[in-house]
Amino acid sequence: MPPFDVYRNPNARASHALWVDVQSDLVSTATRWCVPLRTAVAGQPVMQRAQSTLTVLGQSWVLDTPNLLAVPRGLLREPVARLSESEQALVESCIDFMLCGW
């Protein structure tokens, strides 16, 4: 289960429809750290350096890093996308900002 794969949230009514798995494969637990993605809405503010906008499956999404969560492995079935290297670096910079402030 490599990091930076994107999975669909099985709860269709959830505010975050997708999750980005960000946990290293060196750490094996019953859950995986995931950054939720919510649909980007024009005019809706995005927290500088903590959130960013990505295009996944042809749609704009907000990387909602402040709401990082642990998702049970069983809910992460088939990835629907994989982030590019530049998108992976963006995710890592948002996580670094949340943890370290830079």
The class level of CATH for 5-100 reads mainly beta
| Cα–Cα distances in angstroms (integers) from residue 52 to residues 59, 76, 92, 97, in the given order | 14, 23, 11, 12
pLDDT of residue 33: 97
Residues 19-49 have pLDDT tens digits of 999 999 999 999 999 999 999 999 988 999 9
90 CA to centre of own chain: 11
Q: Where are the domains of the chain?
A: 5-100
Phi, psi of 29 (to 5 degrees): -135, 175
Residues 48-58 have pLDDT tens digits of 999 999 999 99
Please tell me the number of Cα atoms within 13 Å of 86 on its side-chain side.
Answer: 3
